[in-house]
């Protein structure tokens, strides 16, 4: 396997020496018009003071408070419940056990490295697994019950329930929905955890690690979960970072009725210092072509960050044939706009709930909301689950080309045998030009207990067979009703300083916790994921029938390419910082030889990149030298 060298710039940030790679944000082609002007209302700048510093060396009074509850409440609309109910009988009649449902001609499959049992589910369902891993090998894994630290050898370092972790008398309501990420540009962890589920108690507890070792403690800020002061509370967060900022999105509810989504935009330097934290938020988000709901932040997929601003994605939780790309165009210190673009995709809709062995209790598959996203090399990768036929859940994996706002996708699953649910995606490429990914997910059926698996999808959308990470040991009967919560999300994270694509994942599986007297619940399994003999290179594959000439050149450029089939093709010219200069071609060429020519007299002397892509692959990236 070829490896590539990472060149890091050392600088002083927030008084701490860190390594950071900053990548310019590629923008949509200026000829592509957003859905409307500003797609949201920006609040005035505000400031949050430090709530507390968490010092793990000072134990304090640990009350051991726990709240057994259903977190991330079921806010399914009557329309969603009816849609799923309409599908369940048809799903039951289409069920057929299968010994080998995932045939693949691909020779290489994911491999498991260090793996171990982690968080239990005793107090809150669903588990809501999240995980992050630092360059130094610290692993933070959390669920609705609490937080744990390990090193990358699987050695246990720390555990606390959420009440004892925060150890703050002002926190008196449920603490739930954790999301933790590692900011590889700042070499720190960032975490968001929710508190309370009414207008008076709702807070977003935003935490910044004080060093690259989570054992050194955290700075904690409490942002209001009712930012509009309209009786709302905050649910289902998404968390991401750019070069200079942290972003937290969430859904605001009034009671059990959805109100709107909001996006917090937060400069991160003060958070890593423990100082006063400036922030602003976007509300009143546009509802064209469907309402803004569960907006996923797309952090950079490999080492370093991008910016200014950030990309986000959302879809219609009840199903549609479109996706929304959101673009915060600038940092808070600049003049940011919030733009929304409508992107066409294949039809998707929610599936019926899932089956499990040993019980008639069904597993709640939720809706179609986007679960996970990242940005890399001008493409937003994202995933969600949806109906792949007869009411069975499968994985929908997508690559959204930002410059031309086109979407390529592929599905994975086996209609009639298993439900593939709650996927999360991370970059597995060995370079920024390699779009390969690993996807962690949960699986269940009438012949197996709920289990954890992982699958690889390569640059050509070729899927490996999925690999069992941890098999279920029993069925789920935590809530005692006929439908059990499942998910709501699964965690996967890249170890950024490992150029071979090393990943870590955390997912829930059916288990008994006999020592605590809690049967038929969930445990978490954490695993390192590698790729064995995964073949990749430091450059995208080049097609032999594509020529860019003359190169170097003074004036006229010609691009010759041969199309084997009718497929949407995009040819772009960018500078070496990734900024889009011009979309030269966006069309479906005729099969056979094609030629494009353009006069580059408007360009200054320098080096540029010509990229030729289709929805499924990168055909060529070639450096073009302009002389004067």
d(CA 37, CA 33): 9
d(CA 158, CA 148): 5
d(CA 459, CA 536): 9
Question: Cβ distance 329 to 337 under 8 Å?
Answer: yes
618 lies in the same domain as 484: no
232 lies in the same domain as 363: yes
Q: Which of 70-79, 272-281, 299-308, 443-452 bottoms out in mean pLDDT, i.e. has the lowest? A: 70-79
Place of tokens 């004892």: 164
User: Which residues are within 8 A (CB) of 585 and not within 5 positions of it... i.e. 6 or more apart?
Assistant: 569, 570, 571, 596
Query: What residues make up the domain containing 405?
Result: 69-97+112-530
pLDDT tier at 550, thresholds 50, 70, 90: confident
Signed CA dihedral, 155, 160, 166, 167: sign only: negative
Domain membership of residue 389 (yes or no) is yes
Kind and range of the H or E run holding 270? helix 269-273
Of 505, 530, 555, the position where a domain reaches its end is 530
pLDDT digits (tens, 9 = 90+) for 83-133: 888 888 889 888 887 765 665 555 468 999 999 999 999 988 899 999 999
Q: Is 216 helix (H, G, I), strand (E, B) or coil?
A: helix
Place of tokens 């310019």: 24
DSSP 8-class letter at 214: G
Both structure tokens of 355? 């089956």
Q: What is the mean pLDDT of the chain?
A: 88
CA distances to 125, 235, 473 from 164, rounded to whole Å, are 19, 22, 29
CATH number at residue 84: 2.130.10.10
Question: Cβ distance 419 to 451 under 8 Å?
Answer: no
451 lies in the same domain as 585: no
Question: Cβ distance 624 to 558 under 8 Å?
Answer: no
Both structure tokens of 587? 């069309």
232 lies in the same domain as 370: yes
Both structure tokens of 229? 């002061």
pLDDT of residue 594: 78
351 lies in the same domain as 278: yes
Does the pLDDT at position 15 exceed 50? no
Q: How many domains does the chain have?
A: 2
pLDDT tier at 491, thresholds 50, 70, 90: very high
d(CA 361, CA 482): 5
pLDDT tier at 542, thresholds 50, 70, 90: very low
Place of tokens 């390699």: 434
Report the DSSP beta bridge partners of residue 183. Answer: 188
Does the pLDDT at position 249 exceed 50? yes
Domain membership of residue 10 (yes or no) is no
Domain membership of residue 33 (yes or no) is no
d(CA 351, CA 368): 8
- Please give the share of the chain, as a percent, with pLDDT higher than 90: 67
Kind and range of the H or E run holding 527? strand 518-530
pLDDT tier at 239, thresholds 50, 70, 90: very high
CA distances to 73, 128, 505, 620 from 412, rounded to whole Å, are 28, 22, 19, 27
Does the pLDDT at position 518 exceed 90? yes
Does the pLDDT at position 262 exceed 80? yes
């Amino acid at each position: 396997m070829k490896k590539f060298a990472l060149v890091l710039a050392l600088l002083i940030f927030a008084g701490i020496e860190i390594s950071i790679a900053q990548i310019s944000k590629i923008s949509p082609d200026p000829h592509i018009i957003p859905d409307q002007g500003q797609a949201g209302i920006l609040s005035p700048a505000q400031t949050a003071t430090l709530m507390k510093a968490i010092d793990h060396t000072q134990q304090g009074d640990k009350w051991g408070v726990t709240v057994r509850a259903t977190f991330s409440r079921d806010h399914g609309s009557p329309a969603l419940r009816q849609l799923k109910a309409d599908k369940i009988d048809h799903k039951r009649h289409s069920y057929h056990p299968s010994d080998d449902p995932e045939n693949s001609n691909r020779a290489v499959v994911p491999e498991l490295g260090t793996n171990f049992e982690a968080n239990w589910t005793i107090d809150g369902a669903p588990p809501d697994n999240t995980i992050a891993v630092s360059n130094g090998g610290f692993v933070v894994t959390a669920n609705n019950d609490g937080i744990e630290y390990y090193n990358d050898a699987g050695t246990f370092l720390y555990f606390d329930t959420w009440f004892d972790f925060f150890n703050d008398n002002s926190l008196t309501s449920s603490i739930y929905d954790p999301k933790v990420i590692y900011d590889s540009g700042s070499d720190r962890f960032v975490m968001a955890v929710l508190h309370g589920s009414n207008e008076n108690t709702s807070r977003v507890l935003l935490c910044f690690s004080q060093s690259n070792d989570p054992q050194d403690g955290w700075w904690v800020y409490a942002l209001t979960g009712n930012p509009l002061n309209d009786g709302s509370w905050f649910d289902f967060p998404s968390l991401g970072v750019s070069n200079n900022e942290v972003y937290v999105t969430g859904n605001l509810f009034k009671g059990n009725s959805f109100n709107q989504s909001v996006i917090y935009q937060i400069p991160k330097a003060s958070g890593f210092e423990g100082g006063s934290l400036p922030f602003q938020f976007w509300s009143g988000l546009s509802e064209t072509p469907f309402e803004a709901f569960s907006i996923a932040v797309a952090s950079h997929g490999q080492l370093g960050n991008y910016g200014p601003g950030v990309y986000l994605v959302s879809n219609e939780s009840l199903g549609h044939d479109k996706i929304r790309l959101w673009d915060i165009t600038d940092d808070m210190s600049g003049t940011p706009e919030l733009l929304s673009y409508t992107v066409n995709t294949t039809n998707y809709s929610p599936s019926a709930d899932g089956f499990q062995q040993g019980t008639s209790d069904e597993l709640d598959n939720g809706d179609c909301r986007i679960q996970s996203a990242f940005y890399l090399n001008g493409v937003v990768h994202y995933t969600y689950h949806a109906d792949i036929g007869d009411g069975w859940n499968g994985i929908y994996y997508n690559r959204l080309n930002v410059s031309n706002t086109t979407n390529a996708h592929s599905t994975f699953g086996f209609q009639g045998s298993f439900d593939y649910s709650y996927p999360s995606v991370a970059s597995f490429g060995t370079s920024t030009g390699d779009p390969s990914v690993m996807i962690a997910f949960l699986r269940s059926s009438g012949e197996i207990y709920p289990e954890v698996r992982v699958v690889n999808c390569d640059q050509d959308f070729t899927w490996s067979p999925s690999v069992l990470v941890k098999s279920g040991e029993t069925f789920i009967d935590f809530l005692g009703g006929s439908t059990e919560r499942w998910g709501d999300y699964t965690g996967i994270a890249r170890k950024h300083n490992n150029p071979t694509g090393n990943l870590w994942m955390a997912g829930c599986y059916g288990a008994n916790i006999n020592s605590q007297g809690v049967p038929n619940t969930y445990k978490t399994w954490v695993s390192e994921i590698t790729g064995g003999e995964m073949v990749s290179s430091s450059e995208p594959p080049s097609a032999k029938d594509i020529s860019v000439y003359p190169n170097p050149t003074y004036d006229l450029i010609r691009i010759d390419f041969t199309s084997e089939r009718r497929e949407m093709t995009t040819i772009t010219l960018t500078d070496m910082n990734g900024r889009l200069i011009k979309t030269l071609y966006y069309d479906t060429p005729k099969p056979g030889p094609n030629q494009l020519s353009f006069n580059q007299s408007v360009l200054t002397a320098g080096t540029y990149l010509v990229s030729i892509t289709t929805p499924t692959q990168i055909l060529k990236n070639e450096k073009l030298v302009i002389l004067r």
